[in-house]
Amino acid sequence: MIKSYQYRPMLYFVMTFLTTFVLWFAGAYVSFQEDKEGLYILFMLPGLMAPFLISVAMIFTSKNSNLKKDFVNRLINLKLIQPKMLPVFILLMPLTVLVSICLSLPLGGSVSQFQFADGFSFSSGFVPVLLLLLLAATFEELGWRGYAFDSLESRYNTYFTATIVFSVLWSLWHFPLIFVKDSYQYEILNQNIWFAVNFFVSIIPMGVIISWVCIKNQKSVIAAILFHFIINISQELLAISQTTKCIETGVLTVVAIGIIVMDKELFFSKKHLDKAIKPTAQSHQVLSLP
């Protein structure tokens, strides 16, 4: 967060939600047109990119050189990533999935969930699903960590409040996807409405965890992208059932609460903003942007 800049969270989120919702609802309509099969992705991709594009627009029209330097630095500076956090990157979400499967077994879950999935749980038109998972992680975090989260930090007194507000907004941002034929959200809604509800609820603890990983890596956007992508892959790699994913939401919630309790000084101290931006500000010295 750059103290010399006046963030505009209301404008950012209104523009992002409006742009994404218009494009995704248009994509939802096209997805049901038989003569235009697969073309809905032409609306979905720009909607997915909206958080990033609006962040870039607000940053580079801000006339604030520090804000521009901060964004570029967090995007390209690999030194921001802390080696001690790498095990969290790689293991946290896969272990969460495995623990959730184990917890499902006494409740009637199948051991076949430990097997690799035969394919992805949804389709994405002419764009390969694996590529879409990478694009989703990349464009979302470029936007959320590029401007959105910092804008919320500037408004609220504690990191905890900013994190919870962000996580709820991030969950609601996905809402139009339940109307897009063949999307993951559409598929689970048609299986059971509670599976869809679970999807939106699960995003909240997930948002807390991603935000924590990002801040622990000196707000590295690359760190957030990598962790987000591993989350996406972990959800698709094994043949995990939707019932087990409901259990997984509980496990994620416990993990998020554990992180908050463990790092309560970060989440509840009003001095957290200075601590968060100090390393990044120091690393600006390696850049020479105008």
Cα-Cα-Cα-Cα dihedral sign, residues 36, 41, 44, 46: negative
To the query of whether residue 140 is one of the catalytic residues in this protein, the response is yes
- Single-letter amino acid, residue 234: S
pLDDT higher than 90, residue 264: yes
**Choice between 286 and 76, residue whose per-residue pLDDT is larger:** 76
pLDDT higher than 70, residue 274: no
pLDDT higher than 80, residue 280: no
Catalytic: which of 34, 37, 153, 174? 174
Using alpha carbons, list the distances in angstroms from residue 59 to 147, 152, 284. 7, 15, 16
What pLDDT sits at residue 287?
41
What pLDDT sits at residue 279?
41
190: confidence class by pLDDT, cuts 50, 70, 90 = very high
Cα 60 to the chain's mean position, in Å?
23
Catalytic: which of 34, 37, 140, 187? 140
To the query of whether residue 272 is one of the catalytic residues in this protein, the response is no
Record the pTM: 0.90
What pLDDT sits at residue 3?
78
Cα 254 to the chain's mean position, in Å?
18
Average the pLDDT over 73-83 and give the result: 95
Which residues, 6+ apart, have CB-to-CB distance to 5 below 8 Å?
62, 64, 66, 67
285: confidence class by pLDDT, cuts 50, 70, 90 = very low
Which residues, 6+ apart, have CB-to-CB distance to 9 below 8 Å?
148, 151, 152, 154, 155
pLDDT higher than 80, residue 237: yes
Using alpha carbons, list the distances in angstroms from residue 222 to 10, 68, 151, 241, 273. 25, 16, 19, 30, 20
Cα 133 to the chain's mean position, in Å?
11
Q: What is the pLDDT of residues 200-233, one digit of tens each?
A: 999 999 999 999 999 999 999 999 999 999 999 9
pLDDT higher than 70, residue 162: yes
Average the pLDDT over 14-41 and give the result: 92
Counting residues of the chain whose pLDDT is more than 90, the rounded percentage is 80
Mean pLDDT for all residues in the chain: 90
What pLDDT sits at residue 273?
52
Average the pLDDT over 235-253 and give the result: 96
Average the pLDDT over 144-166 and give the result: 94
What pLDDT sits at residue 272?
53
**Choice between 150 and 280, residue whose per-residue pLDDT is larger:** 150
281: confidence class by pLDDT, cuts 50, 70, 90 = very low
Partners of 116 in beta bridges: 238
